[in-house]
Amino acid sequence: MDRRSFVGTMITVATARVVHAQATGSASEWGSPVLDCHFHQRPTIEANLAHLNGAGCQAAYLLTRLQSADDAKRFIAQEPTRFAGYAVGTDVTAAEAVQLFTTAVKAGAHGIGEIKYHVEADGPEMRRIYAAAAELNVPITLHFQEVPHTPTEGVFNTGFKRFDKILKAYPKTKFIGHCDAFWANVSADYANDIDYPRTPIIRGGLTDRWLSDYPNLFGDLSANSGNNALTRDPSFTADFLRRHRTKLIFGSDCACSDGHGAGISQQGNPGAARLAGKCVARETLTTLKANTTPELFHQLVWLNGHRVFKLPL
């Protein structure tokens, strides 16, 4: 085979691969197209599509490190129906953090996040980022964690129980809550003592109340933490989803490689062992499907993400 024929063959193969990926992602097995709004960007377009297709998701909102923003833009340009937009994260303690976020948003980023650093959620480092998010009119996705997963990990965006003061102080900032402390506080008895409580939910938890009380707070249903909140007390789930139907957004935060649990699906997190070998997207979509009407399911897994992150439908 000469060089021209070889190149032509490779182009044909690549085109066929992408066409197959588009067909797989668009034929949703869930009865609705699904937008994964907590999708950590993989290095290649093939790796990103492998998880989306395996999980039966139509599209992803990419969470990417600032230095990889050009990759996100390239993926979106190549596959605009599969990659709906992107957010950027960088070290919030850096002196130039606000300027870096501002430049990134003006260059096309749809949001800020995931923000996961060893700071207090109401500290000075974060307050300047909240003000910038309001000025830029983009959402910010926050990882709230009060209990370390491993002896050396530490905690992130601490002080969630005080966060109502931030919600009041920055009413124009759109906050997307995520992770352990955010979802454990759906129960009124949470004492910052365990990462993923499995006991029945005591009604009146901070997260539940604040989703009702503050128009600028939204819930990201991703990861073991979101799945745990939806599965720990079956008597709570369906009503919670109905009451907050405009405030909840589907995401996976899944590290499996194929949308079926291959690889390290929970990144070695011992507290999330119940989902080891499983795809978080599939597990949470199954739970949502069982606790909603088709119309509500469509809103949670497709419409809300597009609306909150201002993504083109």
pLDDT, tens digit, 9 for 90 and up, residues 109-122? 999 999 999 999 99
| Strand, helix or coil for residue 56 | coil
Q: Which helix (H) or strand (E) element contains residue 76? A: helix 69-78
Share of the chain above pLDDT 70, in %: 90
161-197 pLDDT, tens digit each: 999 999 999 999 999 999 999 999 999 999 999 999 9
Measured distance CA(34)–CA(28) in Å, rounded: 7
217-269 pLDDT, tens digit each: 999 999 999 999 999 999 999 999 999 999 999 999 999 999 999 976 556 68
More confident call, 270 vs 75? 75
Write down the pLDDT at residue 271.
86
Segments of 139-206 assigned E as strands: 140-143, 175-178
More confident call, 209 vs 265? 209
Q: Running DSSP on this structure, what letter comes out for residue 302?
A: I
**What mean pLDDT, rounded, does the chain reach?**
91
Can you say whether the dihedral through the CA atoms of 113, 115, 121, 123 is positive or negative?
negative
Write down the pLDDT at residue 90.
97
Write down the pLDDT at residue 26.
47
pLDDT greater than 70 at residue 30 = yes
Report the pLDDT averaged over residues 135-149.
97
φ and ψ at residue 59, rounded to 5 degrees? -150, 165
- Token pair of 150 as six digits: 């491993």
| Nearest Cα residue to 277 out of 262, 255, 259 | 262
Measured distance CA(10)–CA(251) in Å, rounded: 34
Write down the pLDDT at residue 33.
97
pLDDT greater than 50 at residue 24 = no
pLDDT band at 23 (very low <50, low <70, confident <90, very high): very low
Peptide bond into 79 cis (omega under 30): no
Amino acid at 100: L
- Token pair of 84 as six digits: 């709906």
Give residues with Cβ within 8 angstroms of 94, minimum separation 6.
100
| Nearest Cα residue to 216 out of 164, 174, 165, 163 | 174
| Nearest Cα residue to 48 out of 13, 78, 83 | 83
CA–CA–CA angle 167, 171, 177 (5° rounding)? 45
Report the pLDDT averaged over residues 89-106.
98
- Residues forming a β-bridge with 178: 143
pLDDT band at 92 (very low <50, low <70, confident <90, very high): very high
Whole-model pTM? 0.91
Write down the pLDDT at residue 265.
54
pLDDT band at 14 (very low <50, low <70, confident <90, very high): very low
Write down the pLDDT at residue 149.
92
Report the pLDDT averaged over residues 192-211.
97
pLDDT band at 6 (very low <50, low <70, confident <90, very high): very low
Going from the C-alpha of 243 to that of each of 26, 94, 212, 220, 238, the distances in angstroms are: 29, 39, 8, 15, 9
Write down the pLDDT at residue 263.
78
What domains lie within the chain, and their CATH numbers?
A: 3-309 (3.20.20.140)
pLDDT greater than 90 at residue 13 = no
**Are 91 and 115 within 8 A, CB to CB?**
no
Measured distance CA(262)–CA(254) in Å, rounded: 11
